[in-house]
A and B are shown apart, each in its own frame.
Chain A
Amino acid sequence: MFIPHTDKERQEMLKTIGKDSIKALFTDIPESKRFPVFDLPKGISEMDAYKQMSMLADANNSCEEMISFLGAGAYHHYIPAAVDLLLQRGEFFTAYTPYQPEISQGTLQAIFEFQSLIANLTGMEVSNASHYDGATAAAETCITAYYHFRKKRGNIILSPFIHPHYLETIKTYLQAIVEIEVRIPNISKPADFLESTRQLVDENTALVMVQYPDFLGNILDYSELSSFTHENGSLFAAIVYPIALGMLKSPAKMGADFIVGEGQSLGLPLNFGGPYLGFFTTRKIFIRKISGRIVGETKDEDGKRGYVLTLTAREQHIRRGKATSNICTNQGLNALAVSIYLSLLGKQGLNEVAKQCFHKAHYAASQIEKIKGFTVLNEHPFFNEFVIQCPSNVKKIQSNLLKRGILAGYNLESDFSSRKNQLLIATTEQLTREDIDFFVESLREATNV
């Protein structure tokens, strides 16, 4: 199938090598362990593989068949047809990391444009070529801040309103650096984070990090928090939802030193959680300290404009044991998807998507508030996600709505034990008024017993 050798060719090749069989090529392997029992199924045809995988896919209920109000870090936005069709060009997806720039200008320029689009969208000076996802980009931000202060500042303060998976990932990443202490204040109101940061901050604080909008959907102005953090000589980072930046001002305006986030919403399918893309932006003064690949513009011998991987001395293949990150393969093709998506939507399109998300969330919230026993809990402006307090058992409500083909948001109790019967509801431009009305009606009926 994928091995082209004929018997005749195999014999010719073995003769050239001077061996009488392929088996004879493996004599360096301890005999007792050589050619083990290999208990695997027999290979199948492409046609049967198609059928088997198709059956597995059909065993799911997808968001196409249901009406989804699930967000919590992954969003069901529309992806223009051109995005995936361009990604399927073999010239892109069957290429390796662009180590040989003369024959990789397509990938290199696409990454350069990704960096440009992301830097412009976040309002930051520089972007790298990507991280695995938003959570690992956030974790690498903490590590960057720690090394920026030459390991002298080990305290990192995180808002508890950052996505719980991000908080867990950051803790996993930092567990081996014994000098680092992660502080997450135990507060229930987002506005209290400024005050708790004032209490927690000290001369060892390297970084303060927030999410914008936060995990519960709130939009807060972090200017004061950022100024305070800087007065303390510490760095300030924000995790952002990039669709929101289609209408909201960026935390760059609030003084952020790092803006990172999850790029899935910019042209990548939900895909059960991956592969997505982490974007990472910062100010130019930190460029030599950050991890990940970076593409820079230059010229060739004839003066023609071209692009290369640059500042590679930071990276593992050069710096080895002194590198602060081991990242190598990242999310190249997904960065390309984001570039295509943002190019297609452009200035007007992204603004339109952002506004539709916003208006649909607020329409849904206003309708839900009209149902007896339901309250919208957000005390701040929100973007496309908000928290509702339900009057009865949330799991029952969810399973009741699922029977009607509705994914009724994210149960917050799984991460916050005090948030009983609270749902995090997300909207995107894909939901119609009819969908929202049906959801509201279903909530009413599910609790009106």
Chain B
Amino acid sequence: MSEPTIYELSSEGRFGIKYPDLDVPETKLPDDFLREDVPLPELSELDVIRHFTNLSSLNYSIDKGFYPLGSCTMKYNPRINEVTARFQGFTNTHPFQPIDTIQGNLAVMYFLQELLQEITGFGAATLQPAAGAHGEFVGGLIISAYHKFRNDNHRTKILIPDSAHGTNPATSNMSGLDIVTIPTDNRGNIDLNTLTEVCNESTAGLMLTNPNTLGLFEENVLEIIDIVHTAGGLVYGDGANLNALLGIVKPGELGFDIMHINLHKTFATPHGGGGPGSGPVVVANYLADFLPEPIVGIVEDGNDEIPPLYGFINPKNSIGRMKTFHGHFGIIVRALTYILMQGKDGLREVSDHAVLNANYLMVLLKDHYTLPFDRTCMHEFVLEGVWKDVHGVHALDVAKRLMDYGFHPPTNYFPLNVNEALMIEPTETENKQTLDHFVDAMIAIAKEAHETPELLTTAPHNTPIKRLDEVKAAKDLVLCCWFPDKI
């Protein structure tokens, strides 16, 4: 039995909250502008609690089990972050309050800017971007703005490896840059020959994810950055995979010029079923003036007795404002809490164990699944979800069958340069027993693929719902449940 929709549960005249009686005299309402009816459902508080509790039980989540979704860094979300982010002093501050009433908030932002700069090796930061893709957009706009500022107007080409996330080319399109795709070589690195050939005076920059989406560290990263810089381009780092690098290497020291950071991946803030995330951007010092406005800075120095006064600063060649107000502050509080607790050694241990866990899984699975690039991996790796001697079974079937074993599937069909990809990222917060159980399930599924493939092709079997008809969804386009009659 499926859970009814909130509209199906509605009963005329019911209500879920009572407000105090109006305590001021009434004013005549603007009759010309009044609507006849507010078409919202009518439920009691208990109706609402039950409905959403029932819905929640249909979800898989990190709290329920292992979530090895490659590229998404589904690590444990510490509960203390949820507590600190809900302190009244944070949640009930208005974005336009006078700055002397929000020094706590500004200090939070300033500290996080400083910490992120040190972690990544860059000179300046903005916390304004709302998500990774939003941060990429900042990066794309800064690349364009930088060249324009120097009257270098012919630099319009952005180089993007074929293994890149889809947001990279989409961002480039929004940033007015033309995309040149660079192939991957047989070791899983950017093809250096192609890179050298295409780099010239039209190169605006390169967008590089490192480790790349195959989970491999670019072995020639210093040469790559040098080639692009020599040609006059900038190098953008997609920080989606930063979880592999904390205390291991600083992208700023490798020569990257700009990078975004996903707080909702590396710094343990929750994904929330699809956001809100947060995508701060760090840049080398020489690009600080291009950052979106405003950023947080010290506007009056402090001393031993008085703390500094924090305020907002508008960078002088700013690309402009990316959204209303100051970024996803609630997510920023969570990330700061996490970083303070981890500290220097804790962050290094995060990457150490993220990489240890990934290599452990990779070694145990590579005899059962094709591993296209057999190298030590970083925090994730990619297998093929097909076998030469089995027909009609695909990566999607492996993914669906894993649900029957109680696991969330890996990312599938990405990256695009691997056939039937299964991209596995265990993260550091999973213990050895969980990893061993996952390996057992993956090996059992490989065996089933050969002996009883229908178990895979008809999977999942014990989920709340079976495979859904996506063609019907796109054809019928039922996108809302309607309240009877009036709109």
Contact = CB atoms under 8 A, between A and B. Distances in A.
B474 A328 contact: no
A345 B216 CA distance: 50
A84 B273 contact: no
A272 B325 contact: yes
Interface in B4-33: 5-7, 10, 14-17, 19, 22-27, 29-30, 32-33
A327 B431 contact: no
Interface in B435-487: 460, 463-470, 472-474, 476-483, 487
Interface size class, chain B: 35 or more
A322 B326 CA distance: 30
A64 B249 contact: no
A268 B191 CA distance: 47
B384 interface: no
Nearest to B347: A40
Interface stretch (B115-123, B193-201, B228-236, B385-393): B115-123
A336 B429 CA distance: 27
A82 B47 CA distance: 11
Closest 4 CB pairs of A and B: A43-B343, A273-B325, A57-B89, A332-B274
B101 A402 contact: yes
A363 B96 contact: no
A107 B273 contact: yes
A322 B173 contact: yes
Interface stretch (A194-202, A224-232, A428-436, A441-449): A428-436
Interface in A111-164: 111-113, 115-117, 119-121, 123, 125-127, 129-130, 132-136, 143, 163
Interface in B61-88: 61-64, 67, 69, 72, 74-78, 80, 82-84, 86-88
A273 B170 contact: no
A13 B428 CA distance: 13
B146 interface: no
Given A3-B429, A326-B136, A294 B273 contact: no
A169 interface: yes
Interface string A16-31: 1111001001111110
20 contacts: A4-B432, A40-B344, A42-B343, A43-B341, A50-B84, A61-B102, A64-B92, A76-B92, A91-B56, A103-B408, A103-B460, A104-B60, A107-B274, A172-B320, A298-B476, A319-B166, A326-B136, A330-B276, A350-B38, A359-B27
Interface stretch (B281-289, B298-306, B358-366): B358-366
B172 interface: yes
A82 B53 CA distance: 11
A32 B39 CA distance: 64
B329 A112 contact: no
B93 A270 contact: yes
A346 interface: yes
B59 A22 contact: no
B176 to A, nearest CB: 3
Main secondary structure of the interface of B (DSSP, over half): loop
Interface stretch (A183-191, A240-248, A369-377): A240-248
A275 to B, nearest CB: 3
Interface string B87-116: 111111111111001111101100000010
B313 interface: no
Given A102-B464, A340-B52, A347 B345 contact: no
Interface string A376-387: 000001000000
Contact of B173 (A101, A248, A321): A321
B5 A221 contact: no
A136 B275 CA distance: 15
A429 B10 CA distance: 25
A274 B327 contact: yes
Contacts of A298: 468-470, 472-473, 476, 478
B343 A249 contact: no
A407 interface: yes
Contact of A172 (B96, B321, B341): B321
A436 B30 contact: no
A299 B469 contact: yes
A112 B5 CA distance: 9
Nearest to A434: B23
Range class of the A interface residue count? 35 or more
B58 A109 contact: yes
B93 A62 contact: yes
B466 A98 contact: no
B346 interface: yes
Interface in A255-285: 262, 269-277, 284
Nearest to B73: A96
A314 B418 CA distance: 23
A113 B222 CA distance: 49
B356 A53 contact: no
A52 B108 CA distance: 10
Nearest to B458: A301
B359 A347 contact: no
B209 interface: no
Contacts, number: 689
Nearest to B469: A298
B159 interface: no
Contacts of A343: 6, 16, 40-41, 43, 48, 51
Given A12-B432, A133-B324, A296-B474, A60 B276 contact: no
A274 B330 contact: yes
A100 B40 contact: no
A43 B342 contact: yes
B324 A329 contact: no
A34 B403 CA distance: 39
A396 interface: no
B104 to A, nearest CB: 3
B217 A60 contact: no
A54 B88 CA distance: 9
Contacts of B205: none
A109 B55 contact: yes
B322 interface: yes
Given A29-B249, A270-B91, A298-B469, A410 B274 contact: no
A15 B83 CA distance: 40
Contact of A300 (B17, B469, B481): B469
Contacts of A41: 340, 343-344
A89 B53 contact: yes
A132 B169 contact: no
B445 to A, nearest CB: 15
Contacts of A271: 90-91, 93, 329-330
A61 to B, nearest CB: 4
A113 B315 CA distance: 41
B465 A316 contact: no
Interface in B237-260: 247-250, 253-254
A348 B480 contact: no
Contact of B27 (A5, A62, A358): A358
B176 A126 contact: no
Interface in B386-436: 399-400, 403, 408-409, 411, 414, 428-432
B60 A103 contact: yes
B59 A91 contact: yes
B87 A57 contact: yes
Contact of B15 (A73, A219, A348, A381): A348
A400 interface: no
Contact of B29 (A63, A250, A358): A358
Interface string B308-319: 000000000001
A329 B403 CA distance: 23
Given A102-B464, A270-B94, A326-B167, 4 more contacts: A16-B360, A43-B346, A56-B90, A74-B325
A447 B347 CA distance: 55
Contacts of B7: 113, 116
Given A321-B169, A340-B48, A350-B38, A300 B466 contact: yes
A50 B83 contact: yes
B434 to A, nearest CB: 9
